[in-house]
Structure 1
Amino acid sequence: MRRGWKILIWIIGVCLALIVVLLIVIATFDWNRLKPTVNARVSESIGRPFAINGDLSVRWRREERASGIESWVPWPEFVAQNISIGNPEWTDQPHFAQLDALRFRISPLPLIVHRVEIPVLYLTQPSIDLERNAQGQANWDFAFANDGKPSAWTLDLHAIGFDRGHIALNDAISKADLQITMEALQRAIPYGDIVSQQSADAREQASKTVGASAKTALAKDAGTQENEPGHTNAAYQFAWQALGKYQGAPVDGHGKTGGVLALQQTDQPFPIQGDVHIGDTHIALVGTLTDPLHLAALDIRLWFSGSSMAKLYPLIGVTLPDTPQYATEGHLRANLKRGASHFEYDHFRGRVGGSDLQGDLAFDTGGARPKLSGTVKSQLLRFSDLAPLIGADSNAEKEQRGDATPTPSDKVLPVEPFRTDRWRAMDADVNFSAARIVRDTALPINALSTHLVMDNGVLTLNPLGFDFASGKIDSNLRLDGSTTPMKGDIKLKARHLKLKELFPKFAPMQTSFGEINGDAALNARGNSVSELMGTSTGELKLLMNDGAISKALLETAGLNVANIVIVKLFGDKTVKINCAASDLTATNGLYQTQLFVFDTEDATIRVNGTVNFANEKLDLDVRPESKGLRIFSLRSPLYVKGTLKDPDVGVQPGPLILRGGGAVALGVLATPIAALLPLVATSKGEQDNTCATVLEQMRGASKSRPAPLPSKNKAATTH
């Protein structure tokens, strides 16, 4: 037994001696001898030149944050000085990254099971040059070596720490040329302090962009993230600043970040904050990023403000309409994945011009195209703020943007093209409603709602509804921007539009119980209002009862042709209209009157002919039939020639119209009159709609009188 104990003691002693010798060798070993091997192996793995140009050393010490047996075992700490990573041959810069030092510690016990566990990898003064060319080659895409065999070793990196550094970005695709610098703060700043300061700064910027009302709107019911779980322990340790250009616009930004980015601990938030001006667009954010290894948890408060939402497209990739000055604030949550990210802009609120907006939006990048969906509401919408959305902004505003298209001198219809170039860039499914609309008294629209869908360049608004003049306009609109020229379809139904609200400044209409009812169904093709009207095909029916008309009213409405005709017939006086009925058919922009009749106290006026919106030419006959002998001049028919811009209205040559001529012509009216009868509506609690009586009388006359025989002499038939 004594001999056995001696052998055991000798074995233990030899092992201890070997361990001591090994520790001495490791402690005194010149690790710089391994640099050529390390450089070669790393270069081969990443497919780029890699070099440790300074010292490579190892220090041993216990890890204070470890527990159990790991707290007793010394950990090696590797320090590599002056590291460089090369670039591909096509880049302008020789290096992708340069570091003053790289420092990390390895847990020794996991090495037994072939796992390299690194709690924190520290980068000292990193300098990174990011570059992408016009062909889409990016120097941040590494071609890692893969021999097809699974490695026996795994890397377990918990976090990355860094200090002051510099990042340069030169991206030919996004037209970005940025220089970003990072500096350590003199002291760590609590998360809540930065949230409060950024909120105040962003709202102050909003008030400068939109007005003082924007600051109040953004602050109303605004929650902050100071007390949200996971945020209270976050602190900012570094400040950053960015200068340069993006999409040709100057960039000036600054912000703050944390110091250690946790890659695996999803409960450790990395605080981020930014305040960036790109041209006249301001973007501010404050929040946290967790689980950055999978880019799966971005949680920030986000502010936007600027001269038009359309300018956000090159910045965030979301197609938005032209708008007046705007400012919004909301909560952005994101699940970031390459090619399939999901963003939610929750409970946002803001101002667009003089209007308020609020709602929830989501943006998904998966699928064939990105898609925007959600709900947007406005409690108070200023109608003038809608003008740019429908292409109705002023020429001065368009000239300011540099995209105005002047209307030719001989044209009336706008030739300004619709901006459909971005429609195919994304899809959309958004519900929009406005509870109350502030507008000029001459435009009696009170509320609107619509369901907007964009699908591969096809825009539909179905339904598109308005509360208009105490009545209702229900419609659906489809514009196919995927084709050139654009194709358009519209169906519209107008019911119970009150005349006294349509013309609030026209005193004779204020005692009227009259209404307008109408239907329209048109399809067209073209990229402007002029082209769409010039190719439109379909039908238009309109019925008006108990109204009035005058030269002054038509001048105010801008109805130049109608103004001239009324003056020729009645002179400068107000004329009461019992009923006005029209049934028009259109074929490729040529509108033909099936029925166009005005029944007044003094006469019944019938209009026959065409209006060609393709060339804006007029070819109409206006034939009045006097009621009795009170107004002798009304027995002379008129012609309307020329164009919408320059109409020519005069008395038809030839004999005066026979008193029975107008009545005989009623023989051809049976069909269009029958088509208009469904539009006759009774105003409840008021006198009956006079159009019902007038149309029934005309239909009865058409049945009792034979239709005129065809005549080769148009003048004889007309007169």
Structure 2
Amino acid sequence: MMSDASSQKVRRKHPVLKVAGSFLVALAIAIIVLVFVWQWDWFVPLINRKASAALHRPVSIAHLHVSPGLRTSVTVDDLKISQPEGFEKEKADFASAKSLTVKVDVWRYLTGRGLFIPVIRMDTPRGEIISLMNGRNNYTFGDTSKDNQSASSSSTTTLPDLGEIDIQNADIHLVLAQLKTDMHVLVHTTPAQANQKGNVVVDLKGRYAQAPINGHIVGGALLSLTKPAEPYPIDGRIANGPTYVTLKGTVDDPLHFKGTKLALHFAGPDMSLLYGLTGVPVPHTPAYSITGNLGYSENAIRFQKFEGRMGSSDIGGDINVNPHLKPPFVEAALHSRSVDLADLGGFIGAKTGEAKKTAPPSKSVLPDQKINVPKLNAVNAHVTYHGDHIRNKDLPLDNIDTEFDVKDGAIDLKHLTFATGSGKISAAATLEPTKNEQFRTKFRLDISRLPLSQIMKATDTFKGEGTIGGHVTLTSTGNSVASLVANGDGGTTLVLDRGGDVTALLPDLLGLKLGSAVLSALGIPNRSRLECLVADMPLDSGILKTKSLLLQTETTRTTGTGTVNFHNDTLDYAVTTRSIHPQILSLPGAVHIFGPLSGPNILPGAELVGRVAASVGLGFLFPPAALIPTIQLGVGEGSACERAVREANTNPAAGIAPGGTTGGGASSVPHPSKAASSGKPAKRLTPAQVKKAWAQKTNPK
């Protein structure tokens, strides 16, 4: 039998057990009831508050669904992220989605095998991305400096392992004022099929860089983005206005863009239109079609071994862009096997490509296309270019070689060289930007041993030999070739040392297309052998004056006086031709050339008119007497050419004496930043020395 003490002890424990049992029953009942009445939506207000604080804009979800387990699934319905402060007037939300589902492998994470997200599913996501003209946007979250720091450190962060990514009916609307863009990016994924993974499909519609854009891009499954061992395929086609771009190939590591095997093709009417797509400014060009290999390294995006056509020229080379620098740095090594200089006109401001079609007619005879300062500031660049063979009907040069830098909006033309038979034409220049988008410019052109036969090839009329040498200098401020010349100081000094055919030479040298009518009016016979040419013409505030203009053939001597005004592109010139030897049937005298450079007027001077009138009058009275006014006794061979050459060497308008540029000596082009602005005159020769040297040149044995 149980003792009384024992029985009392049992009786004391019984109420405790009874209370504990009641608690457990109540807890079980509460759990069962909670299971039936539990709603994850109770957490919705908390989630809305936390998300709104984190994103600095109102965030709301309508419902929250959670399926706990080893693979926990979380779904939110009717996700809405409103516009931030300053963009409240926008009708659409910053972002929204009918539903967003994420599954997480909890067990794998707890066992230390990393984060695995087997499913991400988005149904009808929408986005409204806006950037205003003043630079403000709705997609910057919080402190941008912190964002930049986190972005730089995120490059070393390991991304989670992804499984299926399902996006349906995504529509991202981009409105970017500075890029003049209003376009929709439509995205959806295709399901995986037997032995074939799904794809992500992106379509572009709207306007980009003020031009219509249509694009269709197909990529591999999104989960492949995190698997470098699996090459990620890309096949895209984009039409931006008249510009057409295709990209096809694979990328081994898409997130870091490594191991690229991509063929990139550009085609369009004008390379300058690529600026909106690439951010790299290119001058106006004729129609082009180019294909090359797109690659990527840690420091540069590379467009390598590209080949194609630009106008009637071929073009190829390599372009490397370092996008990490501000501004980006572009290094281009370009070449052509055969080039037409007209295709390169955009690099000096001439209108080519679309610019030539859309630009109003120019009133200037010189290129007046303005240099775009903001575009120049968009990149720094080092460019080299070599053309093996030049095709040009007016000046059949041999080849072209150039190198220039663009840094902080300044242009440094190290050299631009044309080979011309035994001679060359070389230019160097610096253009420093000013506050009002002008350029302080120093320019120098050297002409060394330029064979006259090279100039005259296009006319098929040349007989004889001759070489030209000299210099052109310019110091100015402007923003186009036309404005630089109109505002400039400097000069031109050219000398010809041996003969040639003058039929088409004079108009070419003056830059005027006056035709054979002018030559006939000057009294210069066709196919005359040119013995001497001196052009020494200073440029003073945009007005080209004449210190000396002498052209002497075997039968005539022509001199010129007057000015060419580049402010209004007009000229006022008088050219006089005299016979060297006594001649009959010659009507000498001044010919006035005046008016616009594009179409000047040509009138005979008073002496020529008087001689013609006298000849006609005497012809009525006594026909043989009509020959009297046409008899010219001649000026004699004299020393006019000697004096002109001596003066050109002693005090040249260009500031640099011709020196040996017309003979055996080579002419180099000191860089404008290293050369004196005025140059040093050649050593003064005595008249006898000049006469002797010139006689040897003009009368070779």
> TM-score range with shorter-chain normalisation?
0.7 to 0.9
Indicate yes or no: 2:67 matched with 1:58.
yes
The 3-state SS of whatever aligns with 1:321 is coil
Distance 2:530 2:105 in 1: 94
In structure 2, what is the Cα distance between the partners aligned to 1:462 and 1:513?
32
- Over the residues paired in the alignment, what is the CA RMSD in angstroms? 4.5
Q: Quick one: which amino acid aligns to residue 98 of structure 1?
A: A
Q: Deviations over 1:630-688 (max 9, x none)?
A: 35847x5526363342244414599999977995978965433554453341599xxxx
**In structure 2, C-alpha distance between the alignment counterparts of 1:142 and 1:297, rounded to whole Å:** 33
Letter in 2 for 1:532: L
Which TM-score applies when normalising by structure 1? 0.71
Stretch moving more, 385-394 or 460-469: 385-394
* CA-CA distance at 1:618 after TM superposition: 4.5
Deviations 1:257-280 (A, max 9, x none): 233346765545544432121211
Question: How far apart are 1:165 and its partner, in Å?
Answer: 3.0
CA-to-partner distance for each residue in 1:567-600, whole Å, 9 max, x for gaps?
3442654322112122222221233333322232
> What's the counterpart of residue 494 of structure 1?
447
Q: Does the 8 A contact of 2:350 with 2:367 survive in 1?
A: no
Q: Does 1:159 align with 2:165?
A: no
- Counterparts of 1:593-632 in structure 2 under 5 Å? 593-616=546-569, 618=571, 620=573, 622=575, 626-630=579-583
1:369, 1:426 within 8 Å by CA — same for their partners in 2?
A: yes
Identical aligned residues as a percent: 22
Aligned-pair CA distance for 1:320: 0.9
Q: 1:171 aligns with which of 169, 175, 191?
A: 175
User: Are 1:436 and 2:393 an aligned pair?
Assistant: no
Cα offset, 1:127, TM superposition: 0.7
Does residue 681 (structure 1) correspond to residue 663 (structure 2)? The answer is yes
1:638 aligns with 590
27, 46, 52: which one aligns with 2:55? 46
In structure 2, do the counterparts of structure 1 residues 362 and 477 end up closer, same or farther at CA, with 3 Å as the change threshold?
Answer: same
CA distance in 1, matches of 2:686, 2:191: 87
- Alpha-carbon spacing, 1:272–1:618, altered in 2? closer, same or farther (3 Å): closer
The 5 A counterparts of 1:242-281 are 242-261=204-223, 266-267=228-229, 269-281=231-243
User: Is the contact between residue 569 and residue 633 of structure 1 (CA under 8 Å) also seen in structure 2?
Assistant: no
Find out whether 1:303 has 2:265 as its counterpart: yes
* Aligned counterpart, 1:381: 339
Do the aligned partners of residues 591 and 695 (structure 1) sit closer, same or farther apart at CA in structure 2, a change above 3 Å counting?
farther
CA distance in 2, matches of 1:145, 1:77: 34
Figure out how many residues of one structure are paired with residues of the other and give that number: 597
Residues 509-658 of structure 1 mapped to structure 2, 5 A cutoff: 509=462, 511-544=463-496, 545-550=498-503, 554=507, 559=512, 566-570=519-523, 573-616=526-569, 618=571, 620=573, 622=575, 626-630=579-583, 633=586, 637-638=589-590, 640=592, 642-643=594-595, 644=597, 645-652=600-607
Kindly provide the amino acid, as one letter, of the partner of residue 382 in structure 2.
D
For 2:104, the aligned partner's letter is: R
2:271·2:282 contact (CA, 8 Å) conserved in 1?
A: yes
Looking at structure 1, the residues matched to 323 and 223 of structure 2 have their Cα atoms a distance apart, in angstroms, of 26
The equivalent residue for 2:291 is: 329
SS of corresponding position for 1:548? coil
How far apart are residue 451 of structure 1 and its match? Answer: 0.7
3-state secondary structure, aligned to 1:386? helix
Q: Which amino acid aligns with 1:460?
A: D
Taking structure 1 as reference, are residues 166 and 505 closer, same or farther at Cα in structure 2, changes over 3 Å only? closer
In structure 1, what is the Cα distance between the partners aligned to 2:527 and 2:468? 19
Are 2:362 and 1:406 aligned? yes
Equivalent residue number for residue 370 of structure 1: 328
Aligned counterpart for 2:416 among listed residues 451, 464, 483 = 464
Contact 2:159 2:226 in 1 (8 A): no
Q: 1:362 to 1:683 in 2, by over 3 A?
A: closer
Q: Once the 2 structures are TM-superposed, how far is the Cα of residue 465 of structure 1 from its aligned partner?
A: 0.9
SS in 1 for 2:417: strand
| Residue 27 of structure 1: how far off its partner (Å) | 9.4
Aligned 8 A contact 2:108 2:114 in 1? no
Instruction: Give 2:302's aligned residue.
Output: 344
CA distance in 2, matches of 1:444, 1:556: 15
From 238, 258, 261, the equivalent of 2:200 is: 238
Alpha-carbon distance, 1:472 to partner: 1.6
5+ long unaligned stretches in structure 1: 1-16, 61-74, 191-233, 685-693, 703-719
| Distance in 2 between residues matched to 1:352 and 1:562, nearest whole Å | 32
Query: Structure 1 residue 132 and structure 2 residue 130: aligned?
Result: yes
Change (3 A) 1:237 1:429: same
Alignment-mate amino acid for residue 45 of structure 1: A
Which deviates more, 352-361 or 284-293? 284-293
Q: Which amino acid aligns with 1:103?
A: V
Q: Tell me which residue corresponds to 1:72.
A: none
Separation (CA, whole Å) in 1 of partners of 2:508 and 2:495: 21
Indicate the SS of the match to 1:94. Answer: coil
Shift of 1:375: 0.7
For 1:286, the equivalent position in structure 2 comes to: 248
From the superposition, tell whether residues 122 and 650 of structure 1 become closer, same or farther in structure 2 (CA, over 3 Å).
same
Give the TM-score taking structure 2 as reference length.
0.72
Contact 1:189 1:237 in 2 (8 A): no
Mean CA deviation greater in 294-303 or 656-665: 656-665
Matched, 1:82 2:77: yes
CA 641–331 in structure 1, closer or farther in 2 if over 3 Å, else same: closer
Deviation sequence 1:695-714 (CA, Å, 0-9, x none): 97794599xxxxxxxxxxxx
- Whether the 8 Å contact between 1:157 and 1:263 is mirrored in structure 2 is no
Matched AA of 2:128? L
1:502 aligned counterpart, secondary structure: helix
Measured against aligned partners, the alpha-carbon deviations of 1:264-312 in whole angstroms (never above 9, x if no partner) come to 6554554443212121111222345676767888764322211111111
Does the alignment pair 1:104 with 2:66?
A: no
User: Does the 8 A contact of 2:456 with 2:504 survive in 1?
Assistant: no
Contact 1:555 1:563 in 2 (8 A): no
With over 3 angstroms needed to count, the CA separation of the structure-2 counterparts of 1:177 and 1:605, relative to structure 1, is: closer
- The Cα shift of 1:246 comes to 1.7
Q: Which amino acid aligns with 2:350?
A: A
* 2: CA distance, partners of 1:557 / 1:661: 26
1:142 partner SS: coil
One-letter amino acid of the counterpart of residue 650, structure 1: G
* CA distance 1:695–1:254, shift in 2 (3 Å): farther
1:382–1:97 CA distance, 2 compared to 1 (3 A): same
C-alpha distance in structure 1 between counterparts of 2:56 and 2:437, whole Å: 47
Distance 2:311 2:639 in 1: 57
What amino acid is aligned across from residue 380 of structure 1 in structure 2?
A: S
Q: With CA pairs under 8 Å and 6+ residues apart, which has the higher RCO, 1 or 2?
A: 2
Q: Determine the structure 1 residue equivalent to 2:626.
A: none
Letter in 2 for 1:627: I
1:181 corresponds in structure 2 to 186
Q: Is the 8 A contact 2:415 2:427 kept in 1?
A: yes
Report the CA distance shift for 1:665/1:514 in structure 2 as closer, same or farther (over 3 A): closer
**Preserved contact between residue 581 and residue 636 of structure 2 (Cα < 8 Å):** no
Distance in 2 (CA, whole Å) between partners of 1:626 and 1:126 is 91
Partner of residue 457, structure 2: 504
Whether contact under 8 Å (1:666, 1:698) holds in the other structure is: no
Give yes or no for contact 1:602–1:626 (8 Å, CA) kept in 2.
yes
**Contact map agreement 2:265 2:292 (CA 8 A) in 1:** yes
